[in-house]
Amino acid sequence: MAQHRIVKGVSVAPGLALGPAHVVHARPHVVPTWSVAEEDLAREVDRLREAVDQTAEELRRRQRAVAAQVGERDAGIFALHRTILTDPATLKGVEATIRDQRINAEAAVQALIDRVTKRLGATAAEGMRGWSADFSDPWRAVLDVLMQHDRESIVQGDEQVILAAAELTPQVVTFVARERILAVVTEAGGRFSHGAVLARSFGIPCVVGLSNLLSRLEQGMRILVDGDAGTVQLKPDQEDVDLFLARLERRKTREKKLGLHASLEPVTTDGKRFSVLVNVESLRDLDTFPPSHADGVGLLRTEFLYMERQQFPSEEEQYRLYRRVLEKMGDRPVTLRTLDIGNDKQLPYFKTPREANPALGWRGLRISLEWQDLLRVQLRAALRASAHGDLRILLPMVTSIEEVRDVHRIFDEVRRSLGDGGYEVPASVPVGIMIEVPSTLFVLPSLLAEVDFVSVGTNDLVQYLLAVDRDNPLVAKLYDVHHPAVLSALDQVARAAQAAGTPASVCGEMAGDYATALLLLGLGYDAVSVVPMLLPEVKYAVRETSSVEAREIATQALAQTTSEGVRSVLAGCRQRLHLRQVAEGSELPADSRKRETR
Ligand code: PEP
Ligand code: MG
């Protein structure tokens, strides 16, 4: 395999694709500037207005198309872009630039984009960059119209393509009809950007953070996208293509077969019940699995409720949503994580100071405890909704016991005030913590004494244990979930939780790899929580394994001194399962190690 042609990025939406790249000119690199004679200025302004009208019409068309395919909620971004584009003051400003500086429309639009990007985009906060992208995206489309980029030729065709762009924006994700998009790959873009959300809704494999991708691509170059591992391979050779096609075939067969087992209970061959729950990070996720296939929601990332709005959601809005999730899950538990913003998850309407190290900064529970009204509103809504199901509260980014005590105090106050207000409040709602900051590992027994359950957030725990930014492509290679230190930490939590009789689960993405889920079962965890898509294979693997075998996997993995060693133990486990399934006429992918879970 031609390793040097593999570009490593960050996975935003899973899936595999092979096809020709089409580079989207959402960010023209060279915008020509020329001076316009006095008598031609009116015509230049007309050119601008026509391009704006044409773009606004195109945005309206995309809004309708997206609404028809995945719903109004996702389509809303195009309405926002149209509002931005048709803002009279902005348009007047661009017209004034044309007249005052006597320059062409393209140059005036580029000047506007540069100004806004400089003002908003200079910040390290993704939310602000996202805002700047929201502003620039429709104006870049105007540039495309003015410069008559080659969109028309590709739009007219019917070829399926892999869209490549500088940034992951909604314009890029909807550049041509959904059926024609095999995958989207970009140089920049966050997991929580509007473009990322759209790609996931459409089920388009998507990889971001691919440094210098565009300079290495040519229009039409064949590329191979692995949305599971977050990689792009340029010009794959025949061997790579054959491997890819075989993998794709296996994936299809597997999905079909596993689907048949998805409704069965995750019980080991010797009768041990293990819970397999789901992570939910948007309302759409809720519709992707039948509630009876999951043992509950192990992680309800409530950020989306805040991120998809223009202001903080009210108590009533939150209540309605939490109630909806609880009702949907019936008597199965729903673990609601309190707001975990900060770092990579910024709210456009909540401006926080620029931080040099946002991952070590103001995020998660730290914000909730400082802006206690936020937490109180969320807890009020959650407690009110808890009458409609089995609710648990999970606290993110806990560092110390004092924080847990503060939340308990606030929780009691909220409960009392709801009671005083005439609400029926359940006697007890379990409160648990995420184990994701290494400090918690060293005070586990005292923390466990104060909480009802723990859930290990390996996405963050790995980043903090190994000092590797989870979203930085420059150090993506070093983000190693199989590092023996990670296993040792997981073992430590499982043991301490068992000793204290406290239920423990893992909700970080590594738990979605079925061999790792078996390892966690062997370590003594009660549950894993995984993205809905992975439910069937994790459940199937549990049903195919005995608790003794799981324990053996854990023992062998803990004995390893290198990540490679741990990976080979997991590979052995996959191999055994694979052989067993082949013998039985079903199969799990022997090579799912390639899905680098994070
Ligand atoms: C984690 O850190 O593992 C986790 C589940 O939370 P998030 O990915 O939302 O930070
Ligand atoms: Mg986390």
Q: Looking at residue 582, what is its pLDDT?
A: 62
Q: Rounded to whole angstroms, how far apart are CA atoms 319 and 306?
A: 13
Instruction: Give the single-character DSSP code of 159.
Output: -
Given the CA of residue 507, which atom of ligand 1 is nearest to it? 5
| Closest by Cα among 55, 58, 79 to 67 | 79
Q: What residues have CB less than 8 Å from 272, skipping those under 6 apart?
A: 521, 547
Question: What gap in Å lies between CA 393 and CA 299, rounded to an integer?
Answer: 10
Q: Which of 304, 460, 493, 505 has the most ligand 1 atoms within 8 A of CB, as the residue to mutate?
A: 460
CA count, 13 A, side-chain hemisphere, 559:
9
Specify the pLDDT at position 584.
Answer: 63
User: Where is pLDDT greater, at 307 or 486?
Assistant: 486
DSSP alpha helix (H) spans, 312-457? 315-329, 365-370, 372-385, 401-420, 444-448
273 vs 521: CA distance, rounded Å: 10
Q: Which atom number of ligand 1 is nearest to the Cα of residue 303?
A: 9
How do strand 222-226 and strand 16-23 relate by DSSP bridges?
antiparallel
Once rounded to an integer, what is the mean pLDDT over residues 223-250? 91
Report the catalytic residues.
194, 507
Torsion region of 24: left, alpha or beta (phi above 0 gives left; psi -120 to 50 gives alpha): beta
Write the residue with the smallest CA distance to atom 6 of ligand 1: 457
* CATH number attached to the domain at 260-594: 3.20.20.60
Span 413-424, average pLDDT? 94
Atom 1 of ligand 1: nearest residue by CA position: 457
Residues 517, 541 contacting (CB under 8 angstroms): yes
Ligand nearest to the CA of 598: 1
Fold entry, domain 3-33+157-249: Glucose Oxidase; domain 1 (3.50.30)
Q: What mean pLDDT is predicted for residues 113-131?
A: 66
Instruction: Read off the pTM.
Output: 0.72
* Cβ(588)–Cβ(581) below 8 Å: yes
- Confidence tier at 419 by pLDDT (50, 70, 90): very high
Question: What is the topology classification, in CATH, of domain 40-155?
Answer: Enzyme I; Chain A, domain 2 (1.10.274)
Are 493 and 435 in contact by the 8 Å Cβ rule? The answer is yes
Q: Is 410 exposed, middle or buried (0-12, 13-18, 19+ CB in 10 A)?
A: middle
Distance (angstroms) between ligand 1 centre and the Cα of 593 equals 21
Number of other residues whose CB lies within 10 A of the CB of residue 5: 16
576-584 contacts, C-beta under 8 A, 24 or more apart = 577/514, 577/515, 577/541, 577/544, 577/545, 580/544, 581/544
- Distance separating alpha carbons of residues 4 and 158, to the nearest angstrom: 32
Give, for ligand 1, the residue of 459, 462, 506, 530 to mutate: max count of ligand atoms closer than 8 Å to Cβ.
Answer: 459
The closest alpha carbon to 435, from 395, 404, 468, belongs to: 395
* Structural tokens at position 111: 């000047």
Do the beta carbons of residue 382 and residue 393 sit within 8 Å? yes
pLDDT at 596: 37
Structure confidence at residue 473 as a pLDDT band (50, 70, 90):
low
What's the confidence (pLDDT) of residue 589? 57
- pLDDT surpassing 70 at residue 187: yes
pLDDT of residue 287: 82
The predicted pLDDT at position 592 comes to 41
List residues near ligand 1 (CB under 6 A). Answer: 299, 301, 340, 436, 457-460, 507-508
Quote the ligand 2 centre to 230 CA distance (angstroms). Answer: 19
Average pLDDT over residues 572-578: 88
- Token pair 């108590």 is found at 315
Q: What is the mean pLDDT of residues 209-230?
A: 89
The strand ranges marked E within 249-321 are: 275-280, 297-301
Domain ranges in the chain are: 3-33+157-249, 40-155, 260-594
> Of 300, 265, 358, 232, whose CA–CA distance to 529 is shortest?
300
The predicted structure's pLDDT at residue 597? 36
Nearest ligand 1 atom, CA 458: 3
Q: What is the pLDDT of residues 432-468, one digit of tens each?
A: 999 999 999 999 999 999 999 999 999 999 999 999 9
Q: Which ligand is nearest to the CA of 344?
A: 1
378 pLDDT tier (thresholds 50, 70, 90)? very high
**Per-residue pLDDT for 331 more than 60?**
yes
Q: Which atom of ligand 1 is nearest to the CA of 463?
A: 2
The answer to whether 589 and 249 are in contact (CB under 8 A) is no
| Residue 128 scores a pLDDT above 60 | no
CA distance 556 to 568: 10
Closest CA to 484 of 497, 496, 466: 466
Nearest CA to ligand 1 atom 4: 457
Name the residue at shortest CA distance from atom 9 of ligand 1: 301
Residue of minimum CA distance from atom 8 in ligand 1: 459
